[in-house]
Chains A and B, each alone.
Chain A
């Protein structure tokens, strides 16, 4: 179901709400939809309510966003693994192997994305070369914060580059998303080919991206405990200020 009759002061971006699969959600994103909410509660879903409020200029935290997180600042790419292992070991969430595997994957992909793709040079190319040991310049540190409760873990990764656009994100999905009669396509020119973003979307229950162009990109994700994980209940939101 597509909702389009919301009263608002700002133009309402296209949204997809209802009950559908992750693949259908990905298809919607490829078709330019920035707000995807699948829930049995439909328009009464509290996550959707928070998104809807943002169209009226009210910023509400999502119900899954936890307060009082632990915060880490990372500036060296080679410290990534150490940081991820430390994070996983310090959480209850990471005690279960299925959770541990998803948490490692999401953190690794988000951090490597921040190190290698968030910062651009004057020619708009990646400032730091992939496959090299990188030390970010002062002020470019990547901020990682996390908090958990018995239902899951909330993770935020924030860079100071703000270079991700919805078109980039959509492009990643177009390359990665499988259609029945087409082959899975990789972009040979780009490391990872955006596959990391697709994997993050695949293993998280909620994914919200906020971009302040040239200033900041904030990935906020909710990883549900496996026993709370409902493949039909998820959301994706992309906000560009």
Chain B
């Protein structure tokens, strides 16, 4: 069945081939494209905008039966990080390389996603900026939107 809610495309980042997933993961998502790649899989999840319980079920079951190659999750957006933190088997045998952390300005409520890379993720809790100046209003402090303990619970 054609599904225009979810797309997979090959992209090259820093000389490494990644599969970039975009859209919504739900009951209609077919993960077959991920099977076709050979070698380690670098999945760039930055374009995922939503996932429901049926999508999570499909995702976890897919990785349960595809343990033959190394998998790396790159640029995971908050919608994915939240599932990782709530559902311990969400990552399967994969490793998290980088995630986006959501920051919000205490003054103008501008939002910004900040990439937390592997170096920062190596420690627990991850070494992230507590706050920084908002570049939009130049007055407020950007702070993590939500509880760091809750957000990075997948690091346990």
Contact = CB atoms under 8 A, between A and B. Distances in A.
B102 A98 contact: yes
Contact of A226 (B27, B50, B88, B104): B104
Contacts of B60: 184, 186
- Name the prevailing secondary structure of the B interface residues: helix
B52 A108 contact: yes
B150 A96 contact: no
B54 A186 contact: no
A138 B49 CA distance: 34
A231 B79 CA distance: 18
Interface in A187-212: 191-193, 195-196, 198-199, 202-203
B57 A195 contact: yes
Given A193-B57, A202-B86, A229-B150, A131 B27 contact: yes
A227 interface: yes
B111 A96 contact: yes
A192 B54 contact: yes
Give the contact-size bracket for chain B: 20 to 34
A112 B57 CA distance: 15
Interface in A126-174: 130-131
Contacts of A96: 104, 109, 111, 145
A175 B54 CA distance: 15
Contact of B56 (A104, A178, A195, A203): A195
A130 B57 CA distance: 14
B47 to A, nearest CB: 15
A203 B79 CA distance: 12
Given A96-B111, A131-B27, A195-B56, A101 B79 contact: yes
B22 interface: no
A98 B145 contact: yes
B146 interface: yes
Contacts of B61: 186
B53 A199 contact: yes
A191 B54 contact: yes
B146 A229 contact: yes
Which of B56, B61, B82, B86 is packed against the most chain A CB atoms within 10 Å? Answer: B86
B149 interface: yes
B65 interface: no
B150 A105 contact: no
Contacts of B149: 231
A230 B150 CA distance: 9
Contacts of A131: 27
A109 interface: yes
Interface string A78-106: 00000000000000000011100100110
A184 to B, nearest CB: 4
Nearest to A191: B54
Contacts of A226: 104, 145-146
B99 to A, nearest CB: 14
Interface of A: 96-98, 101, 104-105, 108-109, 112, 130-131, 176, 178, 183-184, 186, 191-193, 195-196, 198-199, 202-203, 226-227, 229-231
Q: Which 5 A-B pairs have the closest CB atoms?
A: A184-B89, A196-B53, A195-B53, A192-B53, A178-B88
5 contacts: A96-B145, A97-B78, A192-B53, A193-B57, A229-B147
Interface of B: 27, 50, 52-54, 56-57, 60-61, 78-79, 82, 86-89, 102, 104, 109, 111, 145-147, 149-150
Given A184-B87, A231-B149, 14 more contacts: A96-B111, A98-B145, A104-B50, A108-B52, A109-B53, A183-B89, A184-B89, A191-B54, A192-B57, A193-B53, A195-B56, A226-B104, A226-B146, A231-B147
